[in-house]
Structure 1
Amino acid sequence: MKHAYVAAIVLSGVLLVAGGYMLGRQSAAHLEPPNAPLAQPTNAASAASERKVLYWHDPMVPGPRFDKPGKSPFMDMQLVPVFADDQGGGGVKVSPDVQQNLGIRTAAVTRTEVANLLDAVGTVQFDERLSEAVQTRVNGYVERLLVRAPMEYVRRGQALATIFAPDWLGPQNEYLALKRAGASEELVAAARERIRALSIPDALLLQSEASGVAQARFTVLAPVGGVIAELGVRDGVAVTPGTTLFRIAGLEKVWAVAEVPETQAMGLRRGQKARATSQVDASQSFEGQLKEILPQVNASTRTVQARFDVPNPGGRLVPGMLLRLQVSGPTSTRLVVPTEAVIRTGTRAVVIAQKDNGAFEPRAVFLGADLGDQLEVLSGLHEGEKVVVSGQFLVDSEARLKSVLGSMSAPSGQEAVSGPTKEPEAVGTFTAQGKVEDIDAEGVTISHGPVPALKWPSMTMGFGKTKPTDFPGLKTGDTIQFQFKKGGARGWELLSVQPTGAKK
């Protein structure tokens, strides 16, 4: 009886387990579609394992390499892997996600048709070729002045002043007396020639002949229309032959004189058409022409003066006004990049170019003309290449860091250090032998042999200088024995260098 009771309990347990299993299978069948594939693990470690790892290193001390992951012996951090696809092709690679987060944008280098355009500001001046001087050729005085102020508008034939010339009375009276006496034609003609030699106007002589009385007062008329640019006399002033009474400036045309940089003046040619627009009212525009480039350079501004002829219908342009002058020249095809893509360092211009493999690299370029929102590129880039127009400094900083890391990388074929090891305390000076790979103002890159005191393998790394002028006789390729210590901007600083062999 007892055995039967125990068997019943065991059977009940088996039935409960089987029922739960079947219930779970049915519930799963409702939750999953039939023939559903099994879930695959998608952790970051498995994804990373698909990339080939060359070695591990400490980014803060990038020289030593390790063949397996672990904790850095130099810093309280884990070693970082360096992948094979990060080393090919040069430059620095930035993942698309990081590019989007940093706002890195690129633009293509293009060729465009550009017109040689000069945009300058010119000052309106009188056209001196239209200026007329009004003078006297007789002794006398101004009896009445009819135009009394400079810059007054006058029209052609307008009376300007009345001059009394007593010296004209004698020749006219002699001429009139000969005619009344019936003198021969030869004497009358001689007297008339004398009157003309004294510049007595024909109108005044006709008036004397009509009245029978010599005339000494005559009216000065304006030979051209314009403005009184110069007023040389006043009422009652005595005049002599050659005295300038007035200078009249014509306004049919004016000059617009612009200060042009000497570098741009080389592209200007006489006869080029120009569009002149009023600085006060942009709706007023005039068609002008480049007349002359004055042969003189302003030593302080390094500019030359370009003189443009501008028609002046209605006299709307007056001296002192400013005109915007635009001169169009022949078009040419130029290689251009956006202005924001160029980093100017003071001594050179740099762009961040994107290579075919997606990596970025700094590249020096030579620039030509400034075309507003674009710059002409004379060399350093090719059509179709892409340059960074936003986020250049972030990419440039990464590229500079990679350049430093590359100079401190181990020589080709050097085996990685087997496992993380404890670096000895870098106290005092150390000696090693090596070959000079590169020299700059801040330091020297050396491929050196092992340093037992520091447990360093053979590697290539950079050593800083105390001063930029240190080691003046050192050359790339020299084999040297050198002493160094910990410190300086590059972490290790050269103390002395002694050549051990000829340059290879």
Structure 2
Amino acid sequence: MKPSVRPILLLFLLAGTGLGGYWLGRKTAPPPSPAPETAAARRPLFYRNPMNPQVTSPVPAKDDMGMDYVPVYAEGLTPSAGSGEAVIHLGPEKVQKLGVRSEPARRRALTHVIRALGVVEIDERRVHAITPRFEGWIERLDVNTTGQPVRPGEVLLEAYSPELVSTQEEYRIAGSGAASRALREGAIQRLRNWNVPESWLRRFEASGEIQRRVPFASPVNGIVLEKNAVQGMRFMPGDTLFRVADLSTVWVIASIFEQDLGHVRVGQTARIGFKAYPDRSFDGRVAYVYPTVTDAVRTARVRIELANPKQLLKPAMYGDVTLQAAETEPVLAVPDSAVLDSGTRQLVLVRLGEGRFEPRPVETGQRVEGYTEIRRGLSEGEEVVTRANFLIDSESNLRAAIGGFSTEPAPAPTDHSMPGGH
């Protein structure tokens, strides 16, 4: 071997010996252990699916989208002797930071209030048709527009009828004997059967003069809904010349949802507001609950009668209807925001003081105007959390208490790393 090669081989031998000793030392030396207090304090109880908090794992895992499960820590959870649920401990700073709000459960008279959309409609009983009982021609038209207001007794039109003229002639030529008196009475009765105005008939009897025209007058104070009469037209018995509606009383037809029908009764007071009159409301009375429910939208029609003396309310106007049911006996109730519904049961978060919160299963009843009846599981005066969305949506302990602590806590994850590995 050449003398110049020996130093190079010696250098490689020393380097290999050093690396081997370093590797052997790293292989046999135990890894440094963390501080006992820090490791115990931050040991996860289990891991939760970030997209579905109900899915947990005792060891680190990934969901179907490749996202890491989120660790859930104890932070001082202890079992509750009352409900069997885990009591959550939070420090004062965390309670203040998360904005926890609570209020005591109280007994309240839950008055069911029903709100619905209503439409103004004409009272069907106050619509009158002007129809002749004889054949004739319109010679004078006094009301010639639809929507025109009319008063009781106001003349709508005057018509000529050959039948009426011939009947009057029979009355005039009848003599004064018994047979003639029967003819005269028969003529008057035919005129009455044709529904001529009584004032017109008395005038004819008193004067004996032939009345060539007979007037048609409005029977009510209202508006003209329909006008088929035209100047000079011929009409036949039964033709509708006018339709007049009395709007002094109108209907409001409200659409009430099926679940609210049990709180609606005839005679109940209804309050209705209209956008046309934002500074006032109108009071009415439930007159009828229709016997059928609309299949598509599951609503029932409720008829409300409403006085309309100034005719401010027009047919087809929309209104906001409010019905208030009779007050019931006070029941224990909490705000709706205090009740958490997991799908299979309902819970409230009871504030025990000193940063302790207990998830309490409850049995709920009716929900009225922002409050929920509590039938079982809570006592009057107990503080319930009403503002704590962080306990539901964020990485908090409430879901752990509801979903994980009703059974035994999940074991801590095991370390799958190789001994001596990094």
For residues 424-439 of structure 1, the aligned pairs below 5 Å read none
Cα–Cα, structure 1 residues 369 and 216, in superposed 2: closer, same or farther, change >3 Å? farther
Q: Report if the CA contact (8 A) 1:360-1:399 is conserved.
A: no
Q: CA deviation at 1:328?
A: 2.8
Q: Report if the CA contact (8 A) 2:77-2:87 is conserved.
A: no
Give secondary structure in 2 for the equivalent of 1:264.
helix
Give secondary structure in 2 for the equivalent of 1:98.
helix
One of 111, 123, 128 as aligned partner of 1:132: 128
Q: CA deviation at 1:240?
A: 1.4
Distance 2:410 2:155 in 1: 96
Cα–Cα, structure 1 residues 279 and 379, in superposed 2: closer, same or farther, change >3 Å? farther
Residue number in structure 2 paired with 1:362:
359
Unaligned runs of 5+ in 1: 1-48, 50-54, 64-73, 75-80, 411-421, 428-504
Q: CA deviation at 1:358?
A: 5.8
One of 92, 105, 116 as aligned partner of 1:120: 116
Deviations 1:251-286 (A, max 9, x none): 221111111111112111111122333333243333
Q: CA deviation at 1:293?
A: 0.7
1:351 aligns with 2:335: no
Residue number in structure 1 paired with 2:327:
331
One of 369, 391, 396 as aligned partner of 1:394: 391
Cα–Cα, structure 1 residues 131 and 347, in superposed 2: closer, same or farther, change >3 Å? farther
Residue number in structure 2 paired with 1:91:
87
Cα–Cα, structure 1 residues 132 and 195, in superposed 2: closer, same or farther, change >3 Å? closer
Residue number in structure 2 paired with 1:18:
none
Residue number in structure 2 paired with 1:157:
153
Distance 1:362 1:83 in 2: 16
Residue number in structure 2 paired with 1:189:
185
Residue number in structure 1 paired with 2:19:
none
1:382 aligns with 2:383: no
Residue number in structure 1 paired with 2:211:
215
Deviations 1:212-246 (A, max 9, x none): 44333111111111011222322222211111211
Q: CA deviation at 1:182?
A: 9.6
Residue number in structure 2 paired with 1:313:
309
In structure 2, give the amino acid aligned to 1:321: M
Unaligned runs of 5+ in 2: 1-36, 48-59, 61-72
Cα–Cα, structure 1 residues 341 and 62, in superposed 2: closer, same or farther, change >3 Å? closer
Deviations 1:430-474 (A, max 9, x none): xxxxxxxxxxxxxxxxxxxxxxxxxxxxxxxxxxxxxxxxxxxxx
Deviations 1:324-357 (A, max 9, x none): 3333332121322223323455676543233578
1:277 aligns with 2:278: no
Cα–Cα, structure 1 residues 165 and 354, in superposed 2: closer, same or farther, change >3 Å? same
Q: Report if the CA contact (8 A) 1:175-1:192 is conserved.
A: yes
Cα–Cα, structure 1 residues 211 and 423, in superposed 2: closer, same or farther, change >3 Å? closer
1:173 aligns with 2:174: no
Distance 1:347 1:87 in 2: 21
Query: Which has the higher mean CA deviation after the structures are superposed, 333-342 or 128-137?
Result: 333-342
Residue number in structure 2 paired with 1:17:
none
1:294 aligns with 2:278: no
Query: Which has the higher mean CA deviation after the structures are superposed, 334-343 or 159-168?
Result: 334-343
In structure 2, give the amino acid aligned to 1:385: E
Distance 1:424 1:347 in 2: 37
Residue number in structure 2 paired with 1:500:
none
Cα–Cα, structure 1 residues 230 and 370, in superposed 2: closer, same or farther, change >3 Å? farther
In structure 2, give the amino acid aligned to 1:171: T
Q: Report if the CA contact (8 A) 2:75-2:89 is conserved.
A: no
Give secondary structure in 2 for the equivalent of 1:353.
strand
Give secondary structure in 2 for the equivalent of 1:196.
helix
Q: CA deviation at 1:250?
A: 0.7
Distance 1:156 1:194 in 2: 25
Q: Report if the CA contact (8 A) 1:352-1:395 is conserved.
A: no
In structure 2, give the amino acid aligned to 1:308: I
Residue number in structure 2 paired with 1:407:
408
One of 228, 244, 255 as aligned partner of 1:248: 244
Q: CA deviation at 1:380?
A: 4.5
Q: CA deviation at 1:173?
A: 0.8
Q: CA deviation at 1:170?
A: 1.7
Aligned length: 350
- Mark the structure with the bigger radius of gyration: 1
Distance 1:187 1:395 in 2: 95
Residue number in structure 1 paired with 2:318:
322
For residues 60-71 of structure 1, the aligned pairs below 5 Å read 60=44
Residue number in structure 1 paired with 2:69:
none
Cα–Cα, structure 1 residues 149 and 346, in superposed 2: closer, same or farther, change >3 Å? farther
For residues 200-211 of structure 1, the aligned pairs below 5 Å read 200-209=196-205
Q: Report if the CA contact (8 A) 1:229-1:248 is conserved.
A: yes
Q: Report if the CA contact (8 A) 2:113-2:324 is conserved.
A: yes
Distance 1:127 1:137 in 2: 26
Give secondary structure in 1 for the equivalent of 2:260.
helix
Q: Report if the CA contact (8 A) 1:106-1:390 is conserved.
A: yes
Distance 1:392 1:379 in 2: 24
Cα RMSD (Å) of the superposition?
A: 3.8
Give secondary structure in 1 for the equivalent of 2:174.
helix
Distance 1:206 1:424 in 2: 116
Distance 2:75 2:226 in 1: 86
Distance 1:122 1:399 in 2: 44
In structure 1, give the amino acid aligned to 2:359: P
In structure 1, give the amino acid aligned to 2:350: A
Give secondary structure in 1 for the equivalent of 2:369.
coil
One of 37, 43, 51 as aligned partner of 1:59: 43
Q: Report if the CA contact (8 A) 1:350-1:364 is conserved.
A: yes
Q: Report if the CA contact (8 A) 2:139-2:159 is conserved.
A: yes
Give secondary structure in 2 for the equivalent of 1:192.
helix
One of 216, 220, 224 as aligned partner of 2:220: 224
Distance 1:276 1:371 in 2: 20
Cα–Cα, structure 1 residues 312 and 199, in superposed 2: closer, same or farther, change >3 Å? closer
In structure 2, give the amino acid aligned to 1:336: A
In structure 2, give the amino acid aligned to 1:283: D
Distance 1:307 1:84 in 2: 60
In structure 1, give the amino acid aligned to 2:386: V
Distance 1:338 1:60 in 2: 34
In structure 2, give the amino acid aligned to 1:238: R
Cα–Cα, structure 1 residues 209 and 343, in superposed 2: closer, same or farther, change >3 Å? same
Identical positions, percent: 30
Deviations 1:387-446 (A, max 9, x none): 222234337831344664773468xxxxxxxxxxx967589xxxxxxxxxxxxxxxxxxx
